[in-house]
Protein backbone atom coordinates (compact mmCIF):
# COMPACT_ATOMS: atom_id res chain seq x y z
CA UNK A 1 0.00 0.00 0.00
CA UNK A 2 1.06 3.56 -0.71
CA UNK A 3 -0.12 6.22 1.70
CA UNK A 4 0.06 9.98 1.23
CA UNK A 5 0.77 11.46 4.67
CA UNK A 6 -0.33 15.08 5.13
CA UNK A 7 -0.56 17.42 8.09
CA UNK A 8 -1.54 20.94 9.10
CA UNK A 9 -3.66 22.01 6.14
CA UNK A 10 -4.88 25.03 8.12
CA UNK A 11 -7.69 26.12 5.79
CA UNK A 12 -5.24 26.78 2.93
CA UNK A 13 -7.26 25.68 -0.08
CA UNK A 14 -4.65 26.56 -2.73
CA UNK A 15 -1.93 24.57 -0.95
CA UNK A 16 -4.24 21.62 -0.30
CA UNK A 17 -5.38 21.54 -3.93
CA UNK A 18 -1.77 21.57 -5.12
CA UNK A 19 -0.91 18.62 -2.89
CA UNK A 20 -3.95 16.62 -3.99
CA UNK A 21 -3.05 17.22 -7.65
CA UNK A 22 0.49 15.97 -7.00
CA UNK A 23 -0.78 12.92 -5.11
CA UNK A 24 -3.02 12.00 -8.03
CA UNK A 25 0.09 11.39 -10.11
CA UNK A 26 1.87 9.21 -7.56
CA UNK A 27 -0.22 6.01 -7.46
CA UNK A 28 -1.43 6.50 -3.89
CA UNK A 29 -3.94 4.09 -2.32
CA UNK A 30 -4.96 6.15 0.70
CA UNK A 31 -4.55 9.68 2.10
CA UNK A 32 -4.01 10.30 5.80
CA UNK A 33 -4.04 13.72 7.49
CA UNK A 34 -2.37 14.23 10.87
CA UNK A 35 -4.65 17.02 12.02
CA UNK A 36 -5.24 20.78 11.95
CA UNK A 37 -7.57 21.01 9.01
CA UNK A 38 -8.49 24.53 10.12
CA UNK A 39 -6.93 27.69 11.53
CA UNK A 40 -4.86 30.61 10.17
CA UNK A 41 -6.24 30.72 6.62
CA UNK A 42 -9.53 31.61 4.95
CA UNK A 43 -11.10 28.40 3.57
CA UNK A 44 -12.11 26.07 6.42
CA UNK A 45 -15.32 24.74 4.84
CA UNK A 46 -13.77 24.26 1.40
CA UNK A 47 -10.83 22.29 2.84
CA UNK A 48 -13.09 20.08 4.95
CA UNK A 49 -15.30 19.48 1.92
CA UNK A 50 -12.25 18.26 -0.03
CA UNK A 51 -11.23 16.02 2.87
CA UNK A 52 -14.66 14.39 2.75
CA UNK A 53 -14.77 14.12 -1.05
CA UNK A 54 -11.36 12.45 -1.13
CA UNK A 55 -12.14 10.15 1.85
CA UNK A 56 -9.06 11.40 3.69
CA UNK A 57 -8.54 9.68 7.03
CA UNK A 58 -7.87 12.31 9.70
CA UNK A 59 -6.89 12.71 13.30
CA UNK A 60 -7.77 15.74 15.40
CA UNK A 61 -5.29 18.61 15.70
CA UNK A 62 -5.16 21.25 18.41
CA UNK A 63 -6.83 23.86 16.17
CA UNK A 64 -9.52 21.34 15.25
CA UNK A 65 -10.23 20.68 18.92
CA UNK A 66 -10.65 24.42 19.62
CA UNK A 67 -12.90 25.12 16.64
CA UNK A 68 -15.02 22.08 17.47
CA UNK A 69 -15.51 23.34 21.03
CA UNK A 70 -13.90 20.31 22.66
CA UNK A 71 -11.11 22.51 24.07
CA UNK A 72 -10.92 26.25 24.73
CA UNK A 73 -8.40 28.47 22.84
CA UNK A 74 -7.36 30.50 25.88
CA UNK A 75 -3.90 28.89 26.00
CA UNK A 76 -3.14 29.86 22.37
CA UNK A 77 -1.04 32.92 21.56
CA UNK A 78 -3.19 35.96 20.68
CA UNK A 79 -2.82 35.62 16.91
CA UNK A 80 -3.64 31.92 16.86
CA UNK A 81 -6.56 32.55 19.21
CA UNK A 82 -7.91 35.26 16.89
CA UNK A 83 -7.81 32.75 14.02
CA UNK A 84 -9.94 30.34 16.05
CA UNK A 85 -12.61 33.00 16.65
CA UNK A 86 -12.53 34.07 12.99
CA UNK A 87 -12.98 30.44 11.94
CA UNK A 88 -15.92 30.01 14.30
CA UNK A 89 -17.61 32.92 12.53
CA UNK A 90 -16.86 31.49 9.07
CA UNK A 91 -17.44 27.77 9.30
CA UNK A 92 -20.59 25.68 8.93
CA UNK A 93 -22.16 23.61 11.70
CA UNK A 94 -21.69 20.57 9.46
CA UNK A 95 -17.93 21.17 9.37
CA UNK A 96 -17.79 21.68 13.15
CA UNK A 97 -19.63 18.40 13.65
CA UNK A 98 -17.10 16.70 11.37
CA UNK A 99 -14.20 18.07 13.44
CA UNK A 100 -15.82 16.92 16.69
CA UNK A 101 -15.84 13.33 15.51
CA UNK A 102 -12.15 13.14 14.59
CA UNK A 103 -10.11 10.70 16.70
CA UNK A 104 -6.99 11.79 18.58
CA UNK A 105 -5.05 8.93 16.99
CA UNK A 106 -5.62 6.18 14.46
CA UNK A 107 -3.81 3.17 13.06
CA UNK A 108 -2.94 2.77 9.39
CA UNK A 109 -3.25 -0.86 8.34
CA UNK A 110 -3.57 -1.78 12.00
CA UNK A 111 0.11 -1.16 12.71
CA UNK A 112 1.31 2.35 11.82
CA UNK A 113 0.23 5.06 14.24
CA UNK A 114 -1.00 8.52 13.18
CA UNK A 115 -1.14 11.37 15.72
CA UNK A 116 -0.94 15.17 15.78
CA UNK A 117 1.32 16.17 18.69
CA UNK A 118 2.49 13.68 21.30
CA UNK A 119 1.01 10.22 21.56
CA UNK A 120 -0.76 11.22 24.77
CA UNK A 121 -1.20 14.98 24.19
CA UNK A 122 -2.47 16.65 21.00
CA UNK A 123 -1.01 20.02 22.03
CA UNK A 124 2.61 19.09 22.77
CA UNK A 125 5.37 19.36 20.16
CA UNK A 126 7.86 16.65 19.22
CA UNK A 127 10.66 19.10 18.51
CA UNK A 128 13.79 17.52 20.01
CA UNK A 129 15.51 14.21 20.67
CA UNK A 130 14.24 14.39 24.24
CA UNK A 131 10.62 14.73 23.04
CA UNK A 132 11.15 11.88 20.60
CA UNK A 133 12.63 9.69 23.32
CA UNK A 134 9.62 10.13 25.58
CA UNK A 135 7.29 9.26 22.72
CA UNK A 136 9.36 6.23 21.75
CA UNK A 137 8.88 5.00 25.32
CA UNK A 138 5.12 5.39 24.94
CA UNK A 139 5.27 3.62 21.58
CA UNK A 140 7.12 0.72 23.18
CA UNK A 141 4.48 0.44 25.90
CA UNK A 142 1.76 0.46 23.26
CA UNK A 143 3.25 -1.96 20.75
CA UNK A 144 5.91 -4.04 22.54
CA UNK A 145 8.09 -3.88 19.46
CA UNK A 146 9.48 -1.70 16.63
CA UNK A 147 6.90 0.76 15.37
CA UNK A 148 6.32 3.51 12.85
CA UNK A 149 4.47 6.65 13.92
CA UNK A 150 3.61 9.74 11.85
CA UNK A 151 3.05 13.04 13.66
CA UNK A 152 2.46 16.69 12.77
CA UNK A 153 2.01 19.94 14.71
CA UNK A 154 5.53 21.42 14.28
CA UNK A 155 5.04 22.24 10.56
CA UNK A 156 8.59 20.99 9.86
CA UNK A 157 9.72 17.76 8.20
CA UNK A 158 11.55 15.51 10.66
CA UNK A 159 12.63 11.90 11.11
CA UNK A 160 13.60 10.47 14.49
CA UNK A 161 14.65 6.85 14.92
CA UNK A 162 15.70 4.58 17.75
CA UNK A 163 17.56 1.28 17.71
CA UNK A 164 18.84 -0.42 20.86
CA UNK A 165 18.41 2.80 22.87
CA UNK A 166 20.37 4.81 20.27
CA UNK A 167 18.32 7.90 19.34
CA UNK A 168 19.04 9.53 15.99
CA UNK A 169 17.83 12.29 13.67
CA UNK A 170 17.80 11.13 10.06
CA UNK A 171 17.91 13.41 7.01
CA UNK A 172 17.20 13.07 3.31
CA UNK A 173 14.30 13.13 0.88
CA UNK A 174 13.96 9.35 1.09
CA UNK A 175 14.12 7.26 4.25
CA UNK A 176 14.51 3.49 3.97
CA UNK A 177 12.97 1.89 7.03
CA UNK A 178 15.36 -0.52 8.72
CA UNK A 179 14.00 -3.65 10.35
CA UNK A 180 14.19 -3.46 14.13
CA UNK A 181 14.15 0.35 14.27
CA UNK A 182 11.26 2.50 15.45
CA UNK A 183 10.51 5.79 13.70
CA UNK A 184 8.73 9.05 14.41
CA UNK A 185 8.20 10.90 11.11
CA UNK A 186 6.76 14.35 10.43
CA UNK A 187 5.76 15.09 6.79
CA UNK A 188 5.80 18.87 7.33
CA UNK A 189 2.85 21.16 6.72
CA UNK A 190 0.55 21.49 3.74
CA UNK A 191 -0.87 24.89 4.59
CA UNK A 192 1.73 26.70 6.69
CA UNK A 193 5.31 25.35 6.47
CA UNK A 194 7.70 26.74 9.09
CA UNK A 195 11.08 25.76 7.66
CA UNK A 196 11.62 28.94 5.60
CA UNK A 197 10.26 27.29 2.45
CA UNK A 198 6.75 28.49 1.53
CA UNK A 199 6.00 25.43 -0.61
CA UNK A 200 3.65 22.70 0.58
CA UNK A 201 5.19 19.67 2.23
CA UNK A 202 3.99 16.06 2.43
CA UNK A 203 5.23 12.48 2.42
CA UNK A 204 4.42 9.16 0.79
CA UNK A 205 4.82 5.96 2.78
CA UNK A 206 5.19 2.74 0.78
CA UNK A 207 4.50 -0.08 3.23
CA UNK A 208 5.57 -2.83 0.83
CA UNK A 209 8.91 -1.25 -0.08
CA UNK A 210 9.49 0.01 3.46
CA UNK A 211 10.33 3.59 2.60
CA UNK A 212 9.11 7.14 3.12
CA UNK A 213 9.64 9.89 0.53
CA UNK A 214 9.24 13.63 1.15
CA UNK A 215 7.88 16.05 -1.44
CA UNK A 216 7.46 19.82 -1.88
CA UNK A 217 4.96 21.42 -4.26
CA UNK A 218 4.59 25.00 -5.40
CA UNK A 219 1.21 26.67 -5.12
CA UNK A 220 -0.42 30.09 -5.59
CA UNK A 221 0.63 31.54 -2.25
CA UNK A 222 -0.27 35.06 -3.39
CA UNK A 223 -3.90 34.00 -3.87
CA UNK A 224 -3.99 32.57 -0.35
CA UNK A 225 -2.46 35.76 1.04
CA UNK A 226 -5.04 37.93 -0.73
CA UNK A 227 -7.81 35.85 0.82
CA UNK A 228 -6.30 36.35 4.26
CA UNK A 229 -6.24 40.13 3.84
CA UNK A 230 -9.68 40.34 2.23
CA UNK A 231 -11.27 38.14 4.91
CA UNK A 232 -10.10 40.28 7.82
CA UNK A 233 -7.70 37.73 9.26
CA UNK A 234 -4.49 39.19 10.76
CA UNK A 235 -2.13 40.27 7.93
CA UNK A 236 0.74 38.63 9.83
CA UNK A 237 -0.60 35.28 8.60
CA UNK A 238 -0.03 36.35 4.99
CA UNK A 239 3.51 37.57 5.70
CA UNK A 240 4.38 34.28 7.39
CA UNK A 241 3.12 32.23 4.47
CA UNK A 242 5.30 34.12 2.00
CA UNK A 243 8.50 33.32 3.91
CA UNK A 244 7.58 29.84 5.09
CA UNK A 245 7.16 30.61 8.75
Rounded distance between C-alpha atoms, residue 183 and residue 149, angstroms: 6
Which residue segment(s) compose the domain that 223 sits in?
2-243
How many domains is the chain built from?
Answer: 1
Q: What is the structure's pLDDT at 111?
A: 85
Q: What is the CATH number of the domain that holds 236?
A: 3.60.21.10
Q: What is the structure's pLDDT at 141?
A: 85
Residue ranges in the chain whose pLDDT is less than 50: none
Q: What is the structure's pLDDT at 110?
A: 82
Amino acid sequence: MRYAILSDIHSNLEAFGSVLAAIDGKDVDEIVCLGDLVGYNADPDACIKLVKERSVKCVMGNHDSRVSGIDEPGDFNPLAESAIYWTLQNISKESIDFLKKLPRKLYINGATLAIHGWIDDTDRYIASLYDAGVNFEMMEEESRGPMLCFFGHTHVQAVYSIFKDNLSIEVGNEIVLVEGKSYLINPGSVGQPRDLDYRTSFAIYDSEKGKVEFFREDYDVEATCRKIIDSGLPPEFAERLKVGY
